[in-house]
Chain A
């Protein structure tokens, strides 16, 4: 069954159809959220929150074929809220405690000698908006039209931002790669 057929059935109250949709998308969605929020527990919680919200509002989805981008949009909005709250908490924590600067250990240096790890670290250094575009484009293999639906922007903007992210990665990795 296609997503669209499952969405229609789920909107009529078929709980099994919705469970099938969940099983189809929850892993990829969680991995995308993990690339964005960088914490597996947070990614899991946000994913569950988004899926439950989608379940509640399924009947408001006009185009059943666009379920995936709709679900991702809900999840990314939830992740944005989460990151905003986390920033506030970090800011409050920093008022009372200034973290010590920490040099990477030789073990860490050895670990990051691997190209994949270096790229992963570089991605983590990207601004949030660029990080999510990389996740959607590379890990989710979404085209710019789909990304634009998720991020509610023009496809050309999505592409420009993706290119910008790759250029940022090049600047970070230029001497190492």
Chain B
């Protein structure tokens, strides 16, 4: 059987204490220890350290400490949970408020008669994206964007700028079908 070094032997002692030695390692260790006083002593010392370790855990801080700790933690969790719930609770309200603002802006555009056509197709597209949030998809019926507007579903969408220098901030939406019903 191959001889092992003292260094290897000490690793095997630790592996043994970890209950992880295979048969050949166990044989090697037993043979080495039988011939090496230093490692035999090391095995005893490691064994004592190992058996003392579990008992050497930090001292328990005591029941009042644990009670206060748990109470404190539960109240913090409750507080956190409450915030989380409130956070979710407001989300639909924020969404509804956003929709109302966008619709108000759109409707305000109806009464704003300073008509200026859009300057470019990029502005038209960005307005369409805004409209999508309010009306759902308003893709042009013919698939072509126009700087003056287009028809989509029951809507006759006309682009109109209050002030061309401000970019696409106001626009007009004529709800043709709705108007005709009125």
Interfacial residues, chain A to chain B (CB-CB below 8 A): 13, 15, 18-19, 22-23, 26-27, 30-31, 34-35, 38, 40, 44, 47-48, 51-52, 55-56, 115-120, 123, 134, 138-139, 159, 163, 166-167, 169-170, 173-174, 177
The CA-CA distance from A177 to B72 in the complex, in Å, is 41
B167 interface residue (CB < 8 Å to A) = no
| Listed A/B pairs (26) with beta-carbon separation below 8 Å | A13-B84, A18-B81, A22-B74, A22-B77, A23-B70, A26-B70, A30-B69, A31-B57, A40-B61, A44-B65, A44-B69, A51-B73, A52-B76, A56-B80, A115-B48, A116-B52, A116-B56, A117-B56, A119-B55, A138-B53, A159-B18, A167-B10, A169-B49, A170-B42, A170-B45, A170-B46
The CA-CA distance from A167 to B45 in the complex, in Å, is 10
The CA-CA distance from A117 to B52 in the complex, in Å, is 9
Please tell me if the beta carbons of A19 and B55 are within 8 angstroms of each other in the complex: no
The 5 A-B residue pairs with the shortest CB-CB distance, nearest first, are A119-B56, A119-B52, A120-B56, A34-B58, A40-B61
Contact with A along B31-59 (1 / 0, CB 8 A): 00000000000100110111011111110
Contact partners of B76 in chain A: CB under 8 A: 48, 52
Interfacial residues, chain B to chain A (CB-CB below 8 A): 10-11, 14, 18, 42, 45-46, 48-50, 52-58, 60-61, 65-66, 69-70, 72-74, 76-78, 80-81, 84-85
Contact partners of A13 in chain B: CB under 8 A: 81, 84-85
The CA-CA distance from A29 to B45 in the complex, in Å, is 29
Please tell me if the beta carbons of B45 and A15 are within 8 angstroms of each other in the complex: no
Given contacts A34-B58, A51-B73, contact A166 B80 (CB under 8 A): no
B145 to chain A, nearest CB (A): 40
The CA-CA distance from A176 to B55 in the complex, in Å, is 17
Contact partners of B84 in chain A: CB under 8 A: 13, 56
Contact partners of A118 in chain B: CB under 8 A: 52
Contact partners of B65 in chain A: CB under 8 A: 40, 44
Contact partners of B73 in chain A: CB under 8 A: 22, 26, 47-48, 51
Please tell me if the beta carbons of B77 and A166 are within 8 angstroms of each other in the complex: no
The CA-CA distance from A34 to B59 in the complex, in Å, is 9
